[in-house]
Amino acid sequence: MEKYTTLSSVQQDIKDSKLHLRQLVEAYLQRIEENKHLNAFVEVFAEEARSQAEIVNSRLLDGTAGKLAGMVIGIKDLICYQNHIVSAGSKILDNYRSVFSSTVVERLLAEDAVIIGRQNCDEFAMGGSNENSFHGPVKNNADNSRVPGGSSGGSAVAVQAGLCMASLGTDTGGSVRQPAAFCGVVGLKPTYGRVSRHGVIAYASSFDQVGPITNSVEDAALLLEVIAGHDEYDSTSSTLPVPAYTQQLDFSGKKRIAYLPETLTSEGLDPEVKALTEKTIKELQEAGHAVEPISFPYLDFVVPTYYILTMAEASSNLARYDGVHYGYRSPNATDLESTYKKSRSEGFGAEVKRRILLGSFVLSAGHYDAFYGKAQRVRRVIREKTDEILQDHDFILLPTTPGPAFGIGEKTDDPVTMYLADIFTVQASLAGIPAISLPLGETKTNLPLGIQLIGKRFGESELLAFSKYILNVTKSR
């Protein structure tokens, strides 16, 4: 079967009776099986997907189907689905069965999406390579010796390798955008508060957002349209109405785009990434858009600020995993204290433990004002300056990552590279604004490369329209 890359083509073929959704699901199930080595899925909901496909196909034919009918989607192992296990990539929740569904899953199902399985990720969304999962590492389909990125590695690979049409991942500091870049697909982080966090296992509460990973901008727009919007269960969800993103994808006019020169002059930047970015800038300029360098004086502060805040919030959010009411309890527990210490130490992986400890350190007595309080002030400075740039410009353009996917186990310790990697993606997370990674090129060895666009707060409509435009511009090179 041909690889479908957009929902519209699926829906058309089903309506024309050229395709039955059941066939498509079977094809995906088979591809998942054939690509088990990628380890993208932790669990496949085969039977459910099959029966759901039957129901949705009939609806498509009699005209009663929802917007996502024909969409076969995977969800990151961090997003709750009633009656299904959600393990957050961790041993501590490996047998935990959710008794309720997240709002995003409910909205997917209400529009007739078929959820085919839960996807591997870094434990509790902490990581940038999907090497921190209890269920083992995920492999990049472009090169199996390389990482797919993280934490939504499984979600990105699944779309890359055609194991499903789209995925829902989560992005806290880049966890949707970076794997999307490594895997050559589209990955969007919405504005903070655009999408409900109810039923999404929390890592850092003031950063987490669910985001779609797709082949096309159209499908990203459609998914966002379905999952976005106010949720009575999430007090931080925005009450602003949701635009019909899919109706607003036609781009026209000229845009003003800023790029941050510091990001392009660092030694740690892979020359091919630099070249791709500069090429994109030039193409946009030639198409009549104003693209200019804007200095961002606080670039050096984004990484420390991000880590201080996210580790602090995570240390509190993960306190509930204590072996008492749900999740893993150590067989070596002899009283309450040992239940805590042993269950948590045995149930959590090393990276998670590290971040919890450091977060507790940041918040501990005597350090709160100096660390957390200070970081919150610096966050405001970063946000205000970024907003200022976006007052005079429509978008900020920069690489998504400093280089293509690195090798599994290679886990670069080079501070400059790691530093750059974080700078590119965390700024949008700190400011709470939307950002998208677009697969605009490849290395000479055919490894995907992504370029990132950051948009105005709640400006996903403009961001998506321009993204679609850029992809067309670069495709026609």
Q: Which of 294, 316, 412, 442 binds other proteins (CB under 8 A)?
A: 316
Of 100, 307, 128, whose CA–CA distance to 200 is shortest? Answer: 100
Residue 238 appears among annotated catalytic residues: no
Q: Which of 136, 293, 373, 407 binds other proteins (CB under 8 A)?
A: 373
151, 196, 237, 461: which is the annotated catalytic residue?
151
Q: How far is the CB of 458 from other proteins (least distance, A)?
A: 10
Does 368 interact with other proteins (rule: CB under 8 A)? yes
Q: How far is the CB of 85 from other proteins (least distance, A)?
A: 10
Q: How far is the CB of 212 from other proteins (least distance, A)?
A: 19
Does 396 interact with other proteins (rule: CB under 8 A)? no
Q: How far apart are CA 74 and CA 44, in angstroms?
A: 9
Does 411 interact with other proteins (rule: CB under 8 A)? no
Does 391 interact with other proteins (rule: CB under 8 A)? no
Q: How far is the CB of 404 from other proteins (least distance, A)?
A: 27
Does 315 interact with other proteins (rule: CB under 8 A)? yes
Give whichever of 121 and 447 is closer to other proteins, judged by the CB atom: 121
Residues 95-114 that bind other proteins (CB under 8 A): 95-100, 102
275: tokens are 């070249």
Does 363 interact with other proteins (rule: CB under 8 A)? yes
Rounded to 10 degrees, what is the CA torsion of 351, 353, 356, 358? -70
Does 198 interact with other proteins (rule: CB under 8 A)? yes
- 3-class SS string, the chain: CCCCCCHHHHHHHHHCCCCCHHHHHHHHHHHHHHCHHHCCEEEECHHHHHHHHHHHHHHHHHCCCCCCCCCEEEEECCECCCCCECCCCCHHHCCCECCCCCHHHHHHHHCCCEEEEEECCCHHHCCCCCCCCCCCCCCECCECCECCCCCCHHHHHHHHCCCCCEEEEEECCCCCHHHHHHHCCEEEECCCCCECCCCECCCCCCCCEEEEEECCHHHHHHHHHHHECCCCCCCCCCCCCCCCHHHHCCCCCCCEEEECCHHHHCCCCCHHHHHHHHHHHHHHHHCCCEEEECCCCCHHHHHHHHHHHHHHHHHHHHHHCCCCCCCCCCCCCCCHHHHHHHHHHHHCCHHHHHHHHHHHHHHCCCCCHHHHHHHHHHHHHHHHHHHHHHHHCCEEEEECCCCCCCECCCCCCCHHHHHHHHHHHHHHHHHCCCEEEEEEEECCCCCEEEEEEECCCCCHHHHHHHHHHHHHHHHCC
Give whichever of 377 and 411 is closer to other proteins, judged by the CB atom: 377
Q: Which of 9, 31, 272, 298 binds other proteins (CB under 8 A)?
A: 298
Give whichever of 239 and 265 is closer to other proteins, judged by the CB atom: 239
Q: How far is the CB of 42 from other proteins (least distance, A)?
A: 15
Q: How far is the CB of 250 from other proteins (least distance, A)?
A: 29
76, 91, 139, 189: which is the annotated catalytic residue?
76
Residue 76 appears among annotated catalytic residues: yes
144-to-31, 35, 39, 62 alpha-carbon distances in Å: 16, 11, 11, 43
Does 62 interact with other proteins (rule: CB under 8 A)? no
Q: Which of 340, 406, 424, 466 binds other proteins (CB under 8 A)?
A: 340
Candidate segments 3-11, 134-142, 218-226, 339-347, binder of other proteins by CB under 8 A = 339-347
Binding mask 217-246 for other proteins (x = CB under 8 A): ---------------xxxxxxxx-------
Beta pairing partners, 76 = 119
Does 370 interact with other proteins (rule: CB under 8 A)? yes
Residue 175 appears among annotated catalytic residues: yes
Q: How far is the CB of 301 from other proteins (least distance, A)?
A: 6
Does 202 interact with other proteins (rule: CB under 8 A)? yes
Q: How far apart are CA 163 and CA 336, in angstroms?
A: 44
Q: Any idea how long the chain is?
A: 477
Does 385 interact with other proteins (rule: CB under 8 A)? no
Candidate segments 109-117, 137-145, 330-338, 443-451, binder of other proteins by CB under 8 A = 330-338
129, 133, 152, 175: which is the annotated catalytic residue?
175
Q: Considering CB under 8 A, how many residues would be counted as binding other proteins?
A: 95
Q: Which of 16, 47, 267, 337 binds other proteins (CB under 8 A)?
A: 337
Q: How far is the CB of 327 from other proteins (least distance, A)?
A: 7
Does 177 interact with other proteins (rule: CB under 8 A)? no
Candidate segments 112-120, 145-153, 343-351, 405-413, binder of other proteins by CB under 8 A = 343-351
Catalytic residues: 76, 151, 175
